[in-house]
C-alpha cells in the first residue's frame, strides 16, 4: 500500500544529480514504466484546458500504479485551497505545483497540510523571476519561459541560463522545452535541484516515450557532478 502522508521535500545533497520529474502522465502503466526507468517524481495535471488533464478518478489509478518510493505531485492553476486539498486527499498526492498567479499565503496553507509545494515563476511573463522572494517559503521554485497559450507545457525552449541566479538562491526545478537534445546544456547552465519534463519525452500528449525517458534519465544521472 502506498504511503499517502505528505513527505518532507525530497532531499538533494550538494553537487548531487538533479531530481527528474516526469509530468503530464495520464496512463497508469506508462507512469509505472517511467518510475521504473528512474523518475524521481511523477506529475499529474489538474488543469482542464491542458491536453494532459486528468480527472481525480484517472489520477487515482495512476498514483496506485506507482512504487511507494516515487511520489505523485499535482499541477494546479489558480485553484482554491479547498479544491487542491480535496484533490490531493482523493488521489494520494504528496506534493502540489502551483502554476498560476496564486497568492503567497496559499503556500503556507498547503504546507500546513504536509504537502510539498512548488511555485512556478516565468522568465517571460507574470509572475516573473523578480517575484521569487514572495514565494520563498515554497519548497521548490519551478522556472520556465512562460511563452505559449497554456500556463505550461508549450514545448518552448528558452535561455535556461536566466534561471541560474534563482537556482543559487533557492532549490529550482527547471522546465520548458527540455529534451534529450538539450538537457545537458540546460543543467550545465543552471545547476538546478531538479528538471521537469513533459512534451520533450512524449510520443503524444500525455503518453511518454520510454526510450526518450530512459535516455534522458541516463543523461542526467551521468552528468558530471563537479560542474
User: Is residue 64 assigned to a domain?
Assistant: yes
User: Is residue 6 assigned to a domain?
Assistant: no
pLDDT at residue 205, as a whole number: 87
User: Is residue 7 assigned to a domain?
Assistant: no
Rounded CA separation 90/227 (Å): 41
pTM of the model: 0.91
State the cell numbers at 127: 509572475
Consecutive 10-residue averages of pLDDT for the chain (227 residues):
55 72 97 98 96 97 97 98 98 97 97 97 92 96 79 69 95 95 95 95 94 97 66
pLDDT at residue 1, as a whole number: 42
pLDDT at residue 226, as a whole number: 45
In total, how many domains does the chain have?
A: 1
pLDDT at residue 11, as a whole number: 59
Sign of torsion over alpha carbons 8, 141, 106, 70 = negative
N-terminal to C-terminal alpha carbon distance within the chain: 39
By DSSP bridging, strand 207-208 and strand 202-204 are antiparallel
CB 199 within 8 A of CB 153: yes
User: Is residue 13 assigned to a domain?
Assistant: no
pLDDT at residue 227, as a whole number: 44
User: Is residue 2 assigned to a domain?
Assistant: no
State the cell numbers at 147: 511563452
pLDDT at residue 107, as a whole number: 98
**212: domain CATH number?**
3.20.20.70
Would you call 110 helix, strand, or coil by DSSP? helix
CB 139 within 8 A of CB 114: no
User: Is residue 49 assigned to a domain?
Assistant: yes
Note down the domain range covering 121.
19-221
pLDDT at residue 217, as a whole number: 96
> What's the chain's Rg over C-alpha atoms?
16
> Cα 94 vs. chain centroid, distance in angstroms?
12
Amino acid at each position: 500500500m502506498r504511503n499517502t502522508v505528505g513527505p518532507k521535500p525530497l532531499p538533494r545533497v550538494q553537487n548531487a544529480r538533479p531530481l527528474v520529474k516526469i509530468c503530464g502522465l495520464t496512463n497508469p502503466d506508462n507512469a509505472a514504466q517511467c518510475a521504473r526507468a528512474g523518475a524521481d517524481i511523477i506529475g499529474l495535471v489538474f488543469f482542464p484546458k491542458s491536453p494532459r488533464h486528468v480527472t481525480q478518478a484517472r489520477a487515482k489509478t495512476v498514483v496506485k500504479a506507482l512504487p511507494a518510493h516515487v511520489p505523485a505531485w499535482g499541477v494546479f492553476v489558480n485553484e482554491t485551497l479547498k479544491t487542491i486539498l480535496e484533490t490531493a486527499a482523493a488521489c494520494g498526492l504528496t506534493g502540489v505545483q502551483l502554476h498560476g498567479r496564486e497568492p503567497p499565503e496559499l503556500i503556507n496553507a498547503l504546507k500546513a497540510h504536509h504537502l510539498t509545494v512548488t511555485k512556478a515563476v516565468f522568465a517571460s511573463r507574470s509572475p516573473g523571476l523578480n517575484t521569487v522572494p514572495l514565494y520563498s517559503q515554497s519548497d521548490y521554485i519551478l522556472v520556465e519561459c512562460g511563452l505559449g497559450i497554456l500556463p505550461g507545457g508549450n514545448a518552448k525552449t528558452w535561455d535556461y541560463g536566466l534561471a541560474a541566479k534563482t537556482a543559487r538562491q533557492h532549490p529550482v526545478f527547471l522546465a520548458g522545452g527540455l529534451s534529450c537534445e538539450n538537457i545537458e546544456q540546460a543543467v550545465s547552465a543552471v545547476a538546478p535541484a531538479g528538471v521537469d519534463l513533459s512534451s520533450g519525452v512524449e510520443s503524444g500528449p500525455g503518453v511518454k516515450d520510454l526510450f526518450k525517458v530512459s535516455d534522458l534519465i541516463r543523461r542526467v544521472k551521468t552528468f558530471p557532478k563537479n560542474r
